[in-house]
Structure 1
């Protein structure tokens, strides 16, 4: 029988919740591929080193109102079955401080982050299909072994408060990527919901330097554009925008203006295209789907070069739209003033990691991309940047 999270503990040791299914949550997405295209897409996914730059490969309760109690256990369940089906070699797992997230408690607490990081790794240690990656060599080994590598990250550096040495501690505990701010501003810089008046702070400049020195990949997805650009100027290493889209295609604060996108490319970094519900919509495809997400991919690839683009779908193994709806009052206002668009139950073609990279690869094949370009955006671009960032 396949291992499930925390099943190494006897029944009754920890609270148990009825969790959402990891697989077969929604009907399969029909890309309309010819048999030849389908075969080519399957072969490319099988042969390529595939990296998701941003996802949340954890399972949540079916009843979203139970999520606060579930999170407070400090034991988010890794979606082992969903990962096995994903076709992904490595996934950047942005824990987002699961213990405190969407609980009503103070978010981004240092002790909660440490708890999350430890609990997830002890669970993963009890099975062999998923491994923790701390280096490019670990990711390449996972590819050879046929396992899935998890790279741990945080969506914001808020928990370090004003202590630079905490970045070293996080790296020592296995963290390999960290955001500057999560939508709301912090001691490092401005969040995207606070407008562009606040940029990278003096402490933020010091933190960026330490991140470079330690070997932490830097993410500016939830920073405002000014902070993102100033982070790129301060960094001596490539910078990531792990999950984003182009504001030129859909005018909401969560998406990025062209100068912020260009700044990433100028560092040698990579922009991961997001698919979080009701974000990467386009005026061409207003019902959020694979097609609207790929509009953002093509726009950004044309703007900054395909060598600087990848995918960070930002999926969850739960009713993602329902979660956003249930906890809207606790989430940031990153979607304020969004234009009118159809609400969807889920992002068709990109509902979870189980299907996302299968469908992305098929779409790229159907739209005439070369094998080399497909391999680059599936993971090659990310690996090239990581070789410059990580020790």
Structure 2
């Protein structure tokens, strides 16, 4: 029979809304630090999102890396996404609360969750967290791969942990009921932030280091601590789930299964770190990818495991059927329909209720 996800709330805890085949898209440009203005949220991207069954997506906006002035660039990015949503009122809605996710499902619209992948825009002013929250930001990832003033990313050699400023930022995020996302963080930064946070924290897109020993994956200690405090762990559809970099859907299932064993079935979900619309010409994309990987490495922004010969997605788990295919594979693995529904979205929704309020 299989699992029908039609009635499920499906939440991508880190994803993209873009048609990577459009000439003007960020993916087509191969930019090192693409902006939200480069997204091609066209008829195909919207139709594919609806067809996939996704209810809500945490999209990356704001400063992540590059030569942009972090604070001003982040404000520009928020305005860009406000305009995107305003231009597509029948298709999109901004998510400001857990109740908004359920409402998006009821209305048949795609919920857009504003999230950062780097808190650098805060700079040395934790009070900016309140400003970002007032503008609709609901998730803030503390670091990208590099170190910043808040803590160390997964590729920072010092693994110095959370800084005094970082503790102030976590406190400000707690006060504003904004999710503290520890994806990309170094191990000490992750553990310390999880311990000092007064609210549950998340790792919205990661893999399990017990299965593949790469810095972007999280240790069992990190996973267990986040779950023990009521948090959420999203497994990504990325090359880091296989030691060769040539990841398959079966690898994603293994990481989900391991995370469930470590965290329990109430704390694990998905954060694909990718788009729904599939790239049509993989050969042409491979040529662009080699150049992009080289630029990321030169800029010190890449993670161990990023290579020119591997795609930054799972080839057999992409496109409009990616969530249905994952559900099918989890069903074959012996997961119950109830557990699969939790993984596809209910666990993130319950986490959102705990942080944002019902």
Q: Which TM-score applies when normalising by structure 2? A: 0.87
Q: Give the counterpart of 2:318 among 347, 351, 355.
A: 351
How far does residue 210 in structure 1 lie from its aligned partner after superposition?
0.5
- 1:53 matches 2:13: yes
**Equivalent-residue separation in structure 1 for 2:222 and 2:171 (angstroms):** 20
* Alignment deviations for residues 70-89 of structure 1 (CA, whole Å, 9 cap, x no partner): 94683523332221112011
8 Å Cα contact 1:364/1:374 also seen in 2: yes
- Relative distance call for 1:306 and 1:72 in structure 2 (3 A) is closer
- 1:82 matches 2:82: no
How far does residue 68 in structure 1 lie from its aligned partner after superposition?
3.7
8 Å Cα contact 2:248/2:314 also seen in 1: yes
**Equivalent-residue separation in structure 2 for 1:370 and 1:336 (angstroms):** 33
Matched residue SS, 2:222: helix
8 Å Cα contact 1:91/1:149 also seen in 2: yes
- 1:329 matches 2:290: no
8 Å Cα contact 2:14/2:60 also seen in 1: yes
- The aligned counterpart of 1:372 is 338
**Equivalent-residue separation in structure 1 for 2:30 and 2:317 (angstroms):** 22
- Relative distance call for 1:96 and 1:183 in structure 2 (3 A) is farther
8 Å Cα contact 1:75/1:119 also seen in 2: no
* Alignment deviations for residues 300-331 of structure 1 (CA, whole Å, 9 cap, x no partner): 11112111110001113556766643222343
- The aligned counterpart of 1:290 is 249
Q: Give the counterpart of 1:200 among 162, 174, 180.
A: 162
Matched residue SS, 1:92: strand
- Relative distance call for 1:69 and 1:50 in structure 2 (3 A) is closer
Q: Please say which of residues 70-79 and 171-180 is displaced more in the overlay.
A: 70-79
- 1:131 matches 2:93: yes
* Alignment deviations for residues 206-228 of structure 1 (CA, whole Å, 9 cap, x no partner): 10011011011111111001100
8 Å Cα contact 1:50/1:379 also seen in 2: yes
8 Å Cα contact 2:114/2:137 also seen in 1: yes
Q: Which TM-score applies when normalising by structure 1? A: 0.80
Matched residue SS, 2:17: strand
- 1:110 matches 2:76: no
Matched residue SS, 2:18: strand
How far does residue 95 in structure 1 lie from its aligned partner after superposition?
2.6
Q: Give the counterpart of 1:145 among 92, 107, 115.
A: 107
Matched residue SS, 1:74: helix
- Relative distance call for 1:337 and 1:59 in structure 2 (3 A) is closer
**Equivalent-residue separation in structure 2 for 1:110 and 1:76 (angstroms):** 20
8 Å Cα contact 2:61/2:117 also seen in 1: yes
- Relative distance call for 1:108 and 1:289 in structure 2 (3 A) is farther
- Relative distance call for 1:71 and 1:194 in structure 2 (3 A) is closer
- The aligned counterpart of 1:20 is none
- Relative distance call for 1:346 and 1:181 in structure 2 (3 A) is closer
- Count of aligned pairs: 340
Q: Please give the root-mean-square deviation of Cα atoms over the aligned residues, in Å.
A: 2.6
Q: Give the counterpart of 2:228 among 266, 276, 290.
A: 266
How far does residue 266 in structure 1 lie from its aligned partner after superposition?
1.8
Matched residue SS, 2:272: coil
Q: Please say which of residues 374-383 and 317-326 is displaced more in the overlay.
A: 317-326
Matched residue SS, 1:193: coil
- 1:299 matches 2:258: yes
Aligned 1:4-23 pairs, distance under 5 A: none
Q: Please say which of residues 374-383 and 321-330 is displaced more in the overlay.
A: 321-330
Matched residue SS, 2:82: helix
8 Å Cα contact 2:12/2:270 also seen in 1: yes
**Equivalent-residue separation in structure 1 for 2:34 and 2:288 (angstroms):** 13
8 Å Cα contact 2:266/2:347 also seen in 1: yes
Larger gyration radius, structure 1 or structure 2: 1
8 Å Cα contact 2:70/2:121 also seen in 1: yes
